[in-house]
């Protein structure tokens, strides 16, 4: 995306947050943002961009609840209209094409919801729905709204902003509490390790872990029936931590914050929608911080982040999931033979799944990440992937707990609610 289009996108996000802070009616927020933009944009394009930033692609009232689909083309903003545009090239599933009238469109049945086309389009003519105003409204109306931060959050808001300052800023926005999704990753890590051992004991050739990445799960479904039954049934760490929060606090609302646009789709799936109420990207949260005039580097930290293990935190980059689960496998059964491979980006994920289908996979444990670099490379990121990965590792090193199996907080929560919280979801 061109720098000017990225700035425009973020300006609209900031204006939405600024007006949602003062106004209670979402339709009023829409009107106020449109007035703030003035003649800066063609009216039709402005309407489409602002409505998407408020959670809808349709005309009419702004909805309180955002729902499918989550990615669409802003036709007025698309000036190239070629089959070989950057957005089309970035789409490994072939979901972007021209309709019979030569207009760009997205085939929702093929779309992986990865959002990589959004950042690939120079004109910013592909967009996702945002829940910025809905989150602000949620905080206004409910006293116990929890923020859960994806493992990739470290380093996203600048090199001089600590993880504790990010938590402090969220508490100042009005969140009741802030937790690491990596705590949920610790629980899922142990579950995945135990599942791997059970599968090897019964003679399975390999196990595909797909707990983190919704696009990888969606892609894997295209390889049925060849790999049916070989994909783990674990929910994502996002869903796990949200369900445990709601088991502990029946009045809780949960907002997931991460770099991933696909999580917006995941959170609304019928079998998972009980867990997360709203999803924000780091880009969207940054706009809220700007609207609330947060000077994050100056914030005093009174409640540091201490939820997760080292291994739960490294879920934020490619290879982190494999490393965490293998460490737990070795703790549970030291002599286990694990040969892992991981797909770094959709293209590599497809190559691995092709090898599985052809019976040519030389591994017994598979991790798939749709974004290059893993979650730190997600389309809703703020930092460069290599910087994000480095920050994730540095934050992981600060944990007093090494392996997921040793995280007593996760163990206590799991034992307390294991009969109440479901950590499985049908995927194949």
Residue 228, pLDDT score: 80
Range of the domain at 366: 183-237+307-417
Residue 327 lies in a domain: yes
Residue 256, token pair as written in the block: 């997931």
Q: For residue range 295-308, list pLDDT tens digits in order.
A: 999 999 999 999 99
b/e for 123-162, b at 16 or more Cβ within 10 A?
Answer: bbbbbbbbbbbbbbbbbeeeeebbbbbbbbbbbbbeeebb
CATH code for position 284:
3.40.50.1780
* pLDDT-based confidence at residue 16 (cuts at 50, 70, 90): very high
Question: How many residues does the structure list for the chain?
Answer: 428
What is the rounded distance in angstroms from the CA atom of residue 221 to the CA atom of residue 426? 11
Residue 362 lies in a domain: yes
Residue 365, pLDDT score: 97
- For the full predicted model, state whether its pTM sits above 0.85: yes
CATH code for position 77:
3.30.70.20
Residue 175, pLDDT score: 98
Say if residue 263 is in the same domain as residue 318. no
Quickly list H helices, 23-60.
Answer: 26-37, 43-53
What is the rounded distance in angstroms from the CA atom of residue 147 to the CA atom of residue 292? 17
**How many separate domains does the chain show?**
3
What is the rounded distance in angstroms from the CA atom of residue 35 to the CA atom of residue 57? 19
Residue partners of 223: CB distance under 8 A and separation at least 6: 353, 356, 357
Say if residue 56 is in the same domain as residue 124. yes
Residue 426 lies in a domain: no
DSSP state for residue 54 in the 8-state scheme: T
Torsion angle of C-alpha atoms 52, 55, 59, 64, degrees rounded to 10? -160
Say if residue 79 is in the same domain as residue 160. no
* pLDDT-based confidence at residue 45 (cuts at 50, 70, 90): very high
Say if residue 402 is in the same domain as residue 318. yes
CATH code for position 338:
3.40.950.10
Q: Burial level of 47, CB count in 10 A (0-12/13-18/19+)? A: middle
Q: Is the pLDDT of residue 117 over 70?
A: yes
Full DSSP string of 59-77: SSSPPSS--S--EEE-GGG
Query: Which segments of 80-214 are extended strands (E)?
Result: 96-98, 104-106, 126-128, 145-149, 177-180, 207-209
Q: Which among 294, 256, 301 is positioned nearest to 163, based on CA atoms?
A: 301
* pLDDT-based confidence at residue 324 (cuts at 50, 70, 90): very high
Cβ proximity of 180 and 149 under 8 Å: yes
Say if residue 70 is in the same domain as residue 110. yes
Say if residue 229 is in the same domain as residue 378. yes
**pLDDT, average across residues 223-238:** 90
Q: Is the pLDDT of residue 428 over 70?
A: no
Average pLDDT of the chain, as a whole number = 95
Q: Burial level of 57, CB count in 10 A (0-12/13-18/19+)? A: middle
C-alpha to C-alpha distances, 104 to 51, 73, 99, nearest whole angstrom: 19, 7, 6
**pLDDT, average across residues 33-49:** 95
pLDDT over 70, % of the chain: 99
**pLDDT, average across residues 330-356:** 96
Phi, psi dihedrals of residue 253, rounded to the nearest 5°: -120, 145
What is the rounded distance in angstroms from the CA atom of residue 229 to the CA atom of residue 238? 23
Q: Is the pLDDT of residue 84 over 80?
A: no
Q: For residue range 367-406, list pLDDT tens digits in order.
A: 999 999 999 999 999 999 999 999 999 999 999 999 999 9
Say if residue 140 is in the same domain as residue 126. no
Task: Enumerate the β-bridge partners of residue 407.
Answer: none
Residue 423 lies in a domain: no
Residue 424 lies in a domain: no
Q: Name residue, tokens 């990753």.
A: 185
Say if residue 319 is in the same domain as residue 351. yes
**pLDDT, average across residues 323-336:** 97
């Amino acid at each position: 995306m061109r720098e000017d289009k990225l700035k425009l996108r973020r300006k609209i996000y900031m204006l939405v947050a600024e007006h949602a802070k003062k106004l209670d009616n979402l339709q009023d927020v829409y009107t106020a943002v449109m007035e703030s933009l003035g003649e800066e944009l063609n009216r039709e394009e402005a309407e489409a961009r602002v409505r998407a930033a408020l959670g809808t692609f349709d005309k009419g009232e702004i909805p309180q609840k955002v729902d499918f689909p989550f990615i669409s083309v802003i036709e007025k903003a698309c000036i190239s209209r070629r089959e070989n545009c950057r957005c089309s090239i970035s789409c490994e599933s072939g979901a972007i094409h021209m309709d019979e009238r030569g207009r760009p469109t997205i085939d929702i049945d093929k779309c992986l919801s990865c959002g990589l086309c959004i950042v690939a389009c120079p004109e910013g003519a592909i967009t996702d729905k945002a829940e910025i105003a809905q989150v602000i409204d949620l905080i206004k109306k409910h006293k116990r709204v929890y923020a859960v931060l994806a493992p990739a959050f470290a380093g996203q808001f600048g090199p001089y902003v600590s993880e504790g300052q990010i938590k402090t800023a969220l508490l100042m926005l009005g969140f009741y509490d802030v937790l690491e999704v990596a705590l949920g990753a610790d629980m899922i890590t142990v579950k995945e390790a135990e599942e791997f051992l059970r599968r090897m004991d019964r003679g399975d050739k390999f196990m595909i872990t797909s707990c983190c990445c919704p696009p990888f799960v969606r892609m894997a479904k295209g390889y049925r029936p060849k790999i049916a039954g070989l994909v783990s049934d674990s929910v994502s760490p996002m869903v796990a931590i949200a369900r445990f929060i709601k088991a502990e606090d029946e009045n809780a609302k949960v907002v997931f914050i991460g770099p991933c646009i696909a999580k917006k789709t995941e959170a609304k799936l019928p079998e998972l929608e009980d867990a997360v109420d709203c999803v924000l990207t780091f880009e969207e949260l940054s706009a809220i911080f700007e609207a609330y005039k947060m000077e994050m580097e100056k914030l005093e930290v009174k409640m540091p982040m201490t939820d997760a293990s080292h291994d739960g935190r490294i879920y934020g980059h490619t290879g982190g999931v494999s490393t965490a689960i293998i460490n737990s496998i070795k703790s549970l059964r030291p002599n286990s033979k694990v040969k892992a491979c991981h797909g770094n980006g959709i293209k590599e994920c497809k190559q691995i799944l092709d090898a599985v289908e052809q019976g040519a996979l030389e591994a017994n444990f598979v991790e798939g990440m749709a974004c290059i670099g893993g979650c730190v490379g997600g389309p809703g990121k703020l930092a460069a992937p290599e910087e994000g990965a480095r920050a994730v590792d540095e934050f992981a090193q600060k944990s007093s707990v090494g392996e997921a199996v040793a995280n007593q907080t996760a163990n206590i929560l799991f034992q307390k609610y294991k009969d109440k919280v479901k950590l499985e979801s049908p995927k194949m």
